[in-house]
Structure 1
Amino acid sequence: MKKLISAVVLSALLPGCQQVNTTESGVTQINRKQSMSVLLSEQQVDNMARQSYQETLNKAQSKGVLNSDKQMTARVRTIANRIIPQTSVFRPDASKWQWEVNVESSPELNAYCMAGGKIMFYSGIIEKLKLTDDEIAQIMGHEISHALREHSRERMSSAYNKQLAIQGLSLLTGGKYDGYMGMADELMQVGYFLPNSREHESEADTMGLELAARAGYKPQAAVSLWQKMAAASKGQPAEFLSTHPSNQTRIQDLQAKIPAVQSLYDAAARKYPNKKEN
């Protein structure tokens, strides 16, 4: 019965979606086809992101914590100004995005880039981990990659189709198996959505490594960054039940990919001979 329900629900994900690749593959060869709902456009997601980002800015501004550390804000924006031009390698249209880069004074170990290029760093991740510019660049490249790959739109499409599939199963069976809906939902979560999210994180790690290298930031900083993150974490859920790869998996994967981008870094580093070593 479990296999039957899972098969029916998963097969219902296909209608209403189109298979696309939102980015060029780059030297790191990110070329997975993505499933996007035809009812959820890139512009719709960008508009939602823009509204949410503005609300965040307004809230932080009212609290006096938006870009309150001028030196840190300038530092983050300088790094962004080197990485953002590299996005054209993956998406030529990204040069037309209305990019914004801000820093909120907060103890959180977090940063993000919303659809359309809305970047936010929290001061906590920089201060608590004592990040170098190269490590900040790895985080920024990672977060920008989520936006380039439209991972938020992909997740929204998956969630939307998941609901349609469960509702469709109930209609097809006349409600006969409604008692199994919770089980089917759990199977979908563990068997499809969580691994898919881990794939998003791995893609962002890989593309971010390339973006940072093209901007002249050391690829090895990706490893030291996650070593710091591992030391700062108080424990993680099992990788099988997590939306993120384990720290050790990330470190191993990134170490394996550094040779592919090393020549990009070597070439880009010559453009920034006066860059402070850190």
Structure 2
Amino acid sequence: MLVNENSAIQASKQAYTNTLEPFEKAGKLDNNPAQVKRIKTITDKLIQQAMSLRPNTRDWQWSTKLIDDPQTVNAWCMAGGKMAIYTGLIQKLSATDDEIAQVMGHEISHALLNHSAERMSLAMANNLALELLQNMTQANAQHVSLATAAAQVAITLPNSRGSETEADKLGILLAAKAGYNPNAAVSLWQKMAQVSGNQGFEFMSTHPSPENRQQALQKLIPEMMKHYQSAKK
């Protein structure tokens, strides 16, 4: 670990702006009010559960952005609750609210479990962040630190199998407590496998899905249903 959580959160603020800037300039950020409202409703409920689990995250500057890119199936959450989801994930999977909640609950869990700092450390240790800085134009590189570059690179790196398992468990719990059906965790990955084929979805590359993943999630559902039913009441 070359980066602690506080440093990761600070670096992610600028990294978030840098990552979203090209989409904003192209008019591809939050340009569908109905979809934006839908995603915000889901993530707001998940954020409430995250803050209940880790009260200190009430100080995070949570944010969710919808990126209009119908070809990209992806979503991510940086340290400090800086999130984005691409329209491609919603459209190509015909994702239900319950399935979107599983995706974003999983991504939020990576931030809660400090996996963002782990990936930032990996980016710095392997000089990936330095390469990004060197490839930036002088204008874009202004105000960009090595840590900020690492935070930008981190969202493209795969998590370890252990980190994925942790985020699966916590993500399905957050979603269930927020009132979203845990069965959607399984249907989500079934859809992902069916639709992906050889297209090389970015979400699949950063979220390795071994055959036993769906089975592991399936085993969690009976316990999660208790939280889901309680939330629905």
Q: 1:129 aligns with which of 84, 93, 98?
A: 93
Structure 2 counterpart of 1:140: 104
Structure 1 counterpart of 2:175: 212
Larger Rg: 1
Structure 2 counterpart of 1:90: 53
In the TM superposition, 1:10-21 aligns within 5 A as none
Please give the secondary structure, in 2, of the residue aligned with 1:145: helix
Distance in 2, matches of 1:155 and 1:216, equals: 30
Cα offsets for 1:126-176 (capped at 9, x unmatched): 01100000000000100000110110212334565689xxxxxxxxxxxxx
Aligned 8 A contact 1:226 1:247 in 2: no
Name the CA shift for 1:260/1:61 in 2 (closer, same or farther; >3 Å).
same
Distance in 1, matches of 2:77 and 2:185, equals: 18
Distance in 1, matches of 2:192 and 2:162, equals: 19
Distance in 2, matches of 1:199 and 1:99, equals: 25
Cα offsets for 1:17-74 (capped at 9, x unmatched): xxxxxxxxxxxxxxxxxxx44xx23222112211111112322111000011111111
Cα offsets for 1:166-214 (capped at 9, x unmatched): xxxxxxxxxxxxxxxxxxxxxxxxxxx98x7111111111110000000
Name the CA shift for 1:247/1:226 in 2 (closer, same or farther; >3 Å).
farther
| Structure with greater helix percent | 2
Q: Does 1:115 align with 2:105?
A: no
Name the CA shift for 1:227/1:48 in 2 (closer, same or farther; >3 Å).
same
Distance in 1, matches of 2:10 and 2:162, equals: 25
Structure 1 counterpart of 2:11: 48
Structure 1 runs of 4+ with >6 Å offset: none
What is the total number of aligned residue pairs between the two structures? 199
Gaps of 5+ in 1: 1-35, 164-192, 271-278
Distance in 1, matches of 2:43 and 2:226, equals: 21
TM-score (norm 1): 0.66
| More divergent stretch after superposition (68-77 vs 245-254) | 245-254
Structure 1 counterpart of 2:39: 76
Q: Does 1:258 align with 2:221?
A: yes
Structure 1 counterpart of 2:190: 227
Please give the secondary structure, in 2, of the residue aligned with 1:143: helix
Q: 1:67 aligns with which of 30, 34, 44?
A: 30
| More divergent stretch after superposition (75-84 vs 49-58) | 49-58
TM-score (norm 2): 0.78
Q: CA RMSD in A?
A: 2.3
Name the CA shift for 1:79/1:229 in 2 (closer, same or farther; >3 Å).
same
Please give the secondary structure, in 1, of the residue aligned with 2:180: coil
Gaps of 5+ in 2: 128-156
Name the CA shift for 1:243/1:71 in 2 (closer, same or farther; >3 Å).
closer
Instruction: Report sequence identity in percent.
Output: 47
Please tell me the residue identity of whatever aligns with 2:85.
Answer: F
Please tell me the residue identity of whatever aligns with 1:129.
Answer: L
Aligned 8 A contact 1:82 1:215 in 2: yes
In the TM superposition, 1:148-187 aligns within 5 A as 148-157=112-121
